[in-house]
Amino acid sequence: MKNAQTEVILELTKKMNFLFGPNAIKTLDVNLKSDNSAVTEIDLFVSNLIKEKILNHSVYKSYSFFSEEEYDQLTFPSAILDPIDGTRELIKGRPECAVSLALMKTSEIAAPENYAWIYNPFSGFSLDSSIPFVPSSNKSQQKILGMVSRSEFEKGYFNFLLDIDPKIEITPRGSIAFKLALLASGACDFVLSLSPKNIWDIAAGSVLCSARGIKLYQNGVEIKNLNEINMKGMLLWAPDQFAEDLWIKFKNEKEKRMSESR
């Protein structure tokens, strides 16, 4: 896939320069889909470009293509694509969006045959399954850094965590795929989301994190397979040493608020 990734990066960089570079020659085309979510010409360009690369690949041409911009039934093996995760950030020109591609032989997140790639078209940050990972040294005495969505952060959903545990720091970032790539690269300790996520949002990031010993939890229960298109509840990506404690804190806070509202 490395050659295909390089070709996508080159083509996408040219397109981005036309739209966002210092000598931009046009503005970004944005339309609304039937669910009122935004879709841009970049979303469609990347979806079509990567579909072409998949269809011409000796191994992955037999995979079903499941893109946010083109999908039917979820079947495996599958090429699961979010051409641009973080479309709102893209529209704003904020460098917090990402191409997110998971090539999954089965629905099992930890399956060794799976391959994932996440790429930020603004910064050039790129992470894929072929890149070796060296675990960092013991961080038990350091701050625990989590990344969350900007909208959930601004609504104060995580303020209680900061109040009850001085070791926790929370940083807002756009795009769940980009956050998961940062987590897999060692830039933070956990990623937490309270809003529903589609499989194309999280497949590649979950595969990359899994290879580094970082698991996905839904309401405190480890998720080992991605076989549903949409996931709801508290979604947490974290290593074992943080996961249970964070879930207990959230569960206790939820019960406390329910008790206070009675």
Domain(s) of CATH 3.30.540.10: residues in the chain: 2-128
| Tens-place pLDDT, residues 208-242 | 999 999 999 999 999 999 999 999 999 999 999 88
CB 73 within 8 A of CB 65: no
Alpha-carbon gap, residue 85 to 178, rounded angstroms: 8
Alpha-carbon gap, residue 65 to 8, rounded angstroms: 17
Grouping H, G, I as helix, E, B as strand and the rest as coil, residue 118 is: strand
Q: Report the percent of the chain where pLDDT is more than 70.
A: 95
| Correct CATH for 2-128 of 3.40.640.10, 3.30.540.10, 2.40.170.20, 1.20.1250.20 | 3.30.540.10
Amino acid 127: pLDDT: 96
Mean pLDDT lowest among 21-35, 52-66, 99-113, 149-163: 21-35
186: left (phi over 0), alpha (psi -120 to 50) or beta: left
- Helix residue ranges, H only, 21-123: 41-55, 87-92
The pair of structure tokens assigned to 61 is 């041409």
pTM: 0.92
Amino acid 70: pLDDT: 86
CB 181 within 8 A of CB 187: no
Is the confidence at residue 261, as pLDDT, over 70? Answer: no
Query: For the chain, what is the largest distance between any 2 Cα atoms, rounded to a whole number of angstroms?
Result: 60
The pair of structure tokens assigned to 229 is 């298109």
Q: What is the DSSP string of 198-214?
A: EHHHHHHHHHHHHTTT-
| Tens-place pLDDT, residues 158-175 | 888 888 888 889 999 989
Which of residues 250 and 79 earns the better pLDDT score? 79
Which H or E run contains 84?
A: strand 78-85
177 closest CA partner among 154, 149, 211, 136? 149
Output the CATH code of domain 144-261.
3.40.190.80
CB 122 within 8 A of CB 97: yes
CB 215 within 8 A of CB 239: yes
Enumerate the known binding-site residues for Mg(2+): 68, 82, 84-85, 201
CB 114 within 8 A of CB 102: yes
Computed over every residue of the chain, the mean pLDDT equals 90
10 to each of 5, 6, 53, 90, 103, how far by Cα in Å?
9, 6, 13, 18, 21
| Tens-place pLDDT, residues 76-135 | 999 999 999 999 999 988 899 999 999 999 999 999 999 999 999 999 999 999 988 877
Tell me the one-letter amino acid at 119. Answer: Y
Domain(s) of CATH 3.40.190.80: residues in the chain: 144-261
119: left (phi over 0), alpha (psi -120 to 50) or beta: beta
CB 204 within 8 A of CB 100: yes
Calculate the dihedral angle through the C-alpha atoms of 171, 173, 176, 181, rounding to the nearest 10 degrees. -80
